[in-house]
Structure 1
Amino acid sequence: MEALPPLEVSEEISSVFKLLGDPTRTRLLYTLLDAGELCVCDLAEATGVTETTVSQALRLMRSSGVVIGRRAGRNVFYRLSDGHVRMLLDVTRAHIDHDTSKS
């Protein structure tokens, strides 16, 4: 089966989808998609969660390569790592919108 990815690749794909499996992380990603780049305090305010929760989520997303940070003085500003993450979020939202319009 040519389309079947190797086990290691399947595990990496699964870990990205696990990140999206948490509503808080998903909201953070969509906030970054919309805003471009934000610090922890701005992400916390925009999503209504604590800075501690945002920091923990960003740590996971950074280690998975979904977001990257840029240090500016005492603050770190986060953004989506690349266009593939943007595309994944856009396609996922389009899929959900498509399914709800069928009902």
Structure 2
Amino acid sequence: MVKDIPTCELWSIDEARVVEAQDAINQVPIKEVSQMFKSIADLNRAKMTYALCVHEELCVCDIATLLNITIANASHHLRVLYNNGVVTYRKDGKRAFYRIFDEHIRQIMLVSIEHKKEVYPDETTNI
């Protein structure tokens, strides 16, 4: 569904608001937040993240099986999520178990899913 987005019909800049917004942007790690969202934006990584919201932790083998991908591919995706602070892991012998980094990530994923349901209630896509 494509929605028309309204734009300004008159060019007018509120310089104080622009400066205030720029100052706010400069005071937070916005680049890192952008990278985190980008890492979750990949479909397989979004599925992994959600699966780890549902289950406390999953082995790389479980994740590969769940997504019908190779262990090497699953490991690559998990490394991207790990490098961006989305997941963490623990080793148990020769197995690696991944889990959501913290409750903030879980809430971001679950709130995003709820938001999608509110904005597009009639669109259910299961891939």
- Would the TM-score normalized by the shorter structure come out above 0.5? yes
In the TM superposition, residue 101 of structure 1 has moved relative to its aligned partner by: 1.8
Indicate the residue corresponding to 1:9 in structure 2: 29
Q: Please state whether the residue corresponding to 2:52 is helix, strand or coil.
A: helix
In the TM superposition, residue 102 of structure 1 has moved relative to its aligned partner by: 7.0
Cα deviation 1:24-64 (Å, max 9, x = unaligned) = 10001111111110111001111222211110011111111
Taking the aligned partners of 2:64 and 2:77, their CA distance within structure 1 comes to 11
Q: Could you state the TM-score of these two structures normalised by the residue count of structure 1?
A: 0.90
Residue 73 of structure 1 pairs with residue 76 of structure 2: no
Identity of aligned residues (%): 31
Q: Please state whether the residue corresponding to 1:25 is helix, strand or coil.
A: helix
Indicate the residue corresponding to 2:58 in structure 1: 38
Indicate the residue corresponding to 1:64 in structure 2: 84
Q: Could you state the TM-score of these two structures normalised by the residue count of structure 2?
A: 0.74
In the TM superposition, residue 4 of structure 1 has moved relative to its aligned partner by: 2.6
Output the aligned Cα RMSD.
1.9
Indicate the residue corresponding to 1:52 in structure 2: 72
Total equivalences in the alignment: 103
Q: Structure 2 unaligned runs (5+)?
A: 1-19
Taking the aligned partners of 1:5 and 1:74, their CA distance within structure 2 comes to 43
Indicate the residue corresponding to 1:101 in structure 2: 121
Larger-gyration structure (1/2): 2
Is the helix fraction higher in 1 or 2? 1
Poorly superposed stretches of 4+, deviation over 3 Å: none
Taking the aligned partners of 1:102 and 1:11, their CA distance within structure 2 comes to 33
